[in-house]
Amino acid sequence: MPISATGTPETAAHSVASPVMPAYLRPALGRGFTLIEILVVMVIIGVLGSVAVTRVNFGGGRDQQRDHARRLHVMLQLAVDEALLNNATLGLLVTTDSYRFLQRQKADGDDWSWVDYDADGKLQGTRFEDDGELFLDLELEAQQVALNTLAELEADDEPVVPHIWFLPDGELLPQYRLIVNARESERLFYLEPTPLEPVSLSTVAR
């Protein structure tokens, strides 16, 4: 067998990658992943994950009951902060098919009144679709409240008074349980205070 100048058999010498050998012909042993390859894999995984999530069916299409419960949860927490930061008394007025926020203001003389309050668009009220699946229930001090519809409330000439008050010290009165309900749904979403937080969101099976 021919021997190279280094004393190594020529066949073995030619099997080792040489500096003049093209990079794509060199052995790949010990070669790691490049940053671009890792990023490409991450993008592919992200796309596949997004497709999987969008294909999950929460009771047929978009889960409006859950979405409204989460939105209301965030807005109640924001109302607590608004009352505390602005040293104001806010309120939540609830009907079976809507809710909106109010602020208590001094009127003429020693009278007080409630006016609509949206905190520059951050606390916009919501009205559910007519003849829709969603509706609200309310318990105050563990007693069920007979709620009106929005149309019934607007037809009443009596001054509006919110059901739940957000006080400037961060407290909510009275003890409440706001329920986001849906016809033919197998669950309920409860918004209520706990010993650790003034507004909590939980899901309860019927």
Clarify whether residues 105 and 186 are in a common domain.
yes
Q: Is residue 39 part of a domain?
A: yes
110 has a pLDDT exceeding 80: no
pLDDT in tens, 154-183: 999 888 999 999 999 999 999 999 999 999
Residue 115 lies in a domain: yes
- 152: part of which helix (H) or strand (E)? helix 150-155
Contact 101, 86 (CB under 8 A): no
* 108, 74: one domain: yes
pLDDT band at 19 (very low <50, low <70, confident <90, very high): low
Is 4 inside a domain boundary?
no
Mean pLDDT of 5-25: 49
Q: Quick check: is 180 in a domain?
A: yes
Read off the pLDDT of residues 61-88 as tens digits, 9 standing for 90 and up.
579 999 999 999 999 999 999 999 999 9
| CATH number of the CATH domain containing 82 | 3.55.40.10
The answer for residues whose C-beta is within 8 angstroms of residue 164's C-beta and 6 or more apart is 91, 92, 94, 140, 172, 173, 174, 176, 178
Domain end position, chosen among 36, 55, 74: 55
**75 and 48 inside one domain:** no
Residues 46 and 95 in one domain: no
Domain with 49, as residue range(s), is 10-55
The domain tally of the chain equals 2
**Domain-located, residue 3:** no
Indicate whether 34 and 92 sit together in one domain.
no
**Residues 147, 111: one domain?**
yes
Whether pLDDT at 15 is above 50: no
Does the pTM surpass 0.95? The reply is no
User: What span, in angstroms and rounded, lies between the C-alpha atoms of 73 and 41?
Assistant: 37
Residues 196 and 105 in one domain: yes
- Whether residues 93 and 155 share a domain: the answer is yes
